[in-house]
Amino acid sequence: MHTKNCARIARIGLIIAGIGAILAGCTSPGLSPPTFELAPDQPPVFHPVDGVCRRAVVVGLTAVDPRAYRGWRGDCPGCDIDAEVFALLCREQGLQVAELHNNHATRDCVIATARAAWSYMTAGDLLVVYISGHGGQIADTDGDETDGQDETLCLWDGQLSDDVLRSLWQDLPAGLRVFYVTDTCNSGTNYKLKPRSMRGVIPRDYGGQLIHFGGCADGMSSYGSDSGGTWTTALIDAWHPGDTYRQWYEKAAIRMPREQIPHYAEYGQVTSKFRHGVALR
């Protein structure tokens, strides 16, 4: 069960009042996210801004298309609240945000939206990718996983494997900072392959830098309720403006129940400036 403080309750009140507004192309009162169009087959168009560019792609799935999962509907209540609350936090910190929910969160659309988000971005800019939903495992077919399992994100029309995500990160502009948060099962290494050695983890042509907050280890479960995921709740409750990524993670981790241990990881040449910089800035 979740332990919610007053700040989170207030946030959820705002979210419920404006649920679905992004999908309708509207904005909530007092918020100024970028103008973009959103359709199931078309990613949003972000408008470049001066200075450091900070953008977020936020995904929440309370269900999946049963046609893509042999009849399994993947009911996952609370993931819409997770996504809306995290998106609100990003907007409060001045990020441009695109949200994808349920049938908008197809494999192609999530990838296309991420690519649209990093358009015009350069070294030092910040791309935030957040996903709340189911996470799975499938048999590794190319021998790059020590446990024989690729980790996946269960998107609307099928699973997106960490192999695909790894190839996606390799297309990032050099020096781009990526903050990747997954509130899913099997989220310990669902951003890349499981390493055999540190030298084998990072392709030579990978020029970005990524910090990952996973809700649990591979092979484990992330829990939640109708009001949101345990990991996202901990992150929102632990948020304090001015904290570094590591400080934010550690404050959230100590709020987690014993049966769910979150996972911190870095991928690429993460600089001290990024690691110890102010989160979401």
128-151 residue pLDDT tens: 999 999 998 865 665 555 555 678
Q: What is the CATH number of the domain that holds 163?
A: 3.40.50.1460
In whole angstroms, what is the distance from residue 89 CA to residue 196 CA?
A: 36
pLDDT at 142: 57
Q: Total structural domains in the chain?
A: 1
Q: Is 230 left (phi over 0), alpha (psi -120 to 50) or beta?
A: alpha
Q: Are 177 and 125 in contact (CB under 8 A)?
A: yes
pLDDT one-digit tens code per residue, 5-18: 333 333 444 343 33
**What does pLDDT average to over the chain?**
80
Token pair of 182 as six digits:
């997954």
Domain around 195? 6-38+52-275
pLDDT, residue 140, reads 64
Would you say residue 44 lies in a domain? no
Q: Is residue 27 part of a domain?
A: yes
Query: Whole-model pTM?
Result: 0.81
Average pLDDT, integer, range 151-156: 92
Q: Which of 271, 207, 196, 263 is nearest to 234 (CA)?
A: 263
pLDDT at 10 (0 to 100)? 36
Over range 19-28, report the average pLDDT. 32
Q: Which helix (H) or strand (E) covers residue 155, if one does?
A: strand 149-155
45 pLDDT tier (thresholds 50, 70, 90): low
In the chain, % of residues over pLDDT 90 = 59
Taking a C-beta distance cutoff of 8 angstroms, is the pair 141, 156 a contact? no
Residue 281 in domain:
no
| pLDDT number for residue 4 | 30
Q: Is the pLDDT of residue 32 over 60?
A: no
pLDDT of residue 167: 79
Compute the average pLDDT of residues 259-271.
92
Q: In this structure, is residue 239 part of a structural domain?
A: yes
Residue 59 lies in a domain: yes
pLDDT in tens, 231-258: 999 999 999 999 999 999 999 999 999 9
